[in-house]
Structure 1
Amino acid sequence: MPVPGRGASPPPEDLTARARIRDAALLQFAERGVRGATFRSIAEAAGVSVGLVQHHYGTKEELRAACDAYALDVVRELSDGVGDRLADPGAVAAALEVDLPVRRYFARALVDDSAAAERLFDDLVELTERYLDSPRPGRARPATRDLHAYAAAMAAMSISTLVLRDHLSRALGADTLSAKGAPRLRRAVLEVFADQLLSPELVAQGHAALDEYERSMQAADQSAAEDDR
């Protein structure tokens, strides 16, 4: 993901290194917060030198900006393709693999007392408002007199499921930001928005895809258990 103000596009091998560093930073920021993560810890997680991190991202704020941009791109792409994924149960696992690290990042980044956190929240509200204002097949525009306020409330409610991860995970008996624990919460969110925003057909597809995903997870666990015997 290019960072504004960093000059010409780097060669392909540098893009690979940049992506590895960004992905490592995403996880480090999620675990330690932006203040707690260091270039050294990010470099170790990415398997590169501190100098290479500094070469690609001059400051931690530039690296955070790259993580913000990537996280928003993931949200945008997953939102745009939700109908296709629900029609293809096999795509749920791939979507979760990309989505869960981003959600963990949001859970930490959005509670920072910083201008960057404010911009990130505002960007999420804007993205939500555009999503609601131009719904794709199977989705409806909400019946509201104030779409911006509706989008802000919806974004805040979605973020609360991330910030309150520990409480939700305790209540549901599984980590809601893990591959095994996410489906139960996602079913609930699917049903919360079913009446106003999603068609019955899309909701049914969503449940079917999650059913198939959970069956595949159970089969994989059973196979692993048999291999261990």
Structure 2
Amino acid sequence: MRSATPSDDADLTARARIRDAALARFAADGFGAPLRAIAADAGVSPALVIHHFGSKDGLRHACDEQVRRIVAEGKEPVYGAPGGHPDRADMFALLADVERYGVPTLYLLRVFQAGGDLARELVDDMVELTRTTLADGVASGAVRPSRDEDARARYLVMLTLGALVVDQALHPADPGDTGGFIRGYMARYALPSAEVFTEGLLLDATMLDAVAATWPAPTDPTPTDPPRTRT
């Protein structure tokens, strides 16, 4: 199985090689993938996997941390670093290299489909990362401020993940070409999503005014706040 995952280790040490093989195998086959298959993908013995990670759960934890790092790397060019707008050259480089995110993206979808505490933790991590990077974008002038920054960050994460889950269901990834999933998704939705994010959709504020009057931004927003009705 071919791994297209970025790595911290320039020379792909045994530990990094095992981790990347596990990411690819979990992404393709789910978390029930046997340790022996992961070891074979990495070209090592199962005993060496246990030596480096202690257990399959330890290997899963290393994969989770790697995916968290990859997600963090991908945010800044989109929303803009402090002190300026997104660098166009960085943005083009990111779009040209999207297929390297195939494995970590499919891995994340496996986590979210499985649900549970880990999925909630990863979503919370992504929301916090998004909230922080959006705040940097607001400070630099690259992003419009929001009436409810926390709710906007959570909505953007849920919107992105939901779109990926549905697209994966309609266009299942080829386990031998996980980058193809990202290429296909970007071919279908990169332009319309950039258009909506950049230019907006509606030409007047009628809907926004009605929604703001019915569901005003809470003073202490949480994901479980009930809808607010007009009194």
TM-score bracket relative to the smaller structure: 0.5 to 0.7
Matched, 1:75 2:71: yes
1:68-123 CA distance string (max 9 Å, x none):
211121121121234346457455333x1332211111111112133222211111
Structure (1 or 2) with the greater helix fraction: 1
Q: Following the alignment from structure 2 to structure 1, what is the Cα–Cα distance between the partners of residues 180 and 167? A: 7
State whether residues 86 and 92 of structure 1, in contact with CA within 8 Å, keep that contact through their aligned partners in structure 2: no
Aligned CA distance change for structure 1 residues 180 and 103 (closer, same or farther; 3 Å): same
Aligned CA distance change for structure 1 residues 124 and 181 (closer, same or farther; 3 Å): closer
TM-score by length of 1: 0.67
State whether residues 102 and 180 of structure 2, in contact with CA within 8 Å, keep that contact through their aligned partners in structure 1: no
Matched, 1:193 2:197: yes
Q: How far is the alpha carbon of 1:167 from its aligned partner?
A: 4.8
Q: How far is the alpha carbon of 1:24 from its aligned partner?
A: 1.1
Kindly report the root-mean-square deviation, in angstroms, between the aligned alpha carbons of the 2 structures.
2.8
Q: Following the alignment from structure 1 to structure 2, what is the Cα–Cα distance between the partners of residues 160 and 70? A: 22
Which residue of structure 2 lines up, in the alignment, with residue 26 of structure 1?
23
Which residue of structure 2 lines up, in the alignment, with residue 162 of structure 1?
164
State whether residues 108 and 163 of structure 1, in contact with CA within 8 Å, keep that contact through their aligned partners in structure 2: no
Which ranges in structure 2 are unaligned for 5 or more consecutive residues? 1-8, 79-85, 173-178, 201-231
Find the partner of 1:93 among 84, 91, 96: 96
Q: Following the alignment from structure 1 to structure 2, what is the Cα–Cα distance between the partners of residues 169 and 13? A: 33
Matched, 1:140 2:136: no
- Number of matched pairs: 178
1:153-186 CA distance string (max 9 Å, x none):
111111112211245549xxxx972435533322
Aligned CA distance change for structure 1 residues 98 and 85 (closer, same or farther; 3 Å): farther
- How high is the sequence identity, in percent, across the aligned residues? 38
One-letter amino acid matched to 1:93 = A
Q: Following the alignment from structure 2 to structure 1, what is the Cα–Cα distance between the partners of residues 136 and 93? A: 27
Matched, 1:43 2:47: no
State whether residues 18 and 39 of structure 2, in contact with CA within 8 Å, keep that contact through their aligned partners in structure 1: yes
Which residue of structure 1 lines up, in the alignment, with residue 108 of structure 2?
106
Matched, 1:60 2:56: yes
Which ranges in structure 1 are unaligned for 5 or more consecutive residues? 1-11, 197-229
Which residue of structure 2 lines up, in the alignment, with residue 9 of structure 1?
none
1:3-47 CA distance string (max 9 Å, x none):
xxxxxxxxx89961111111111111112222x112111111111
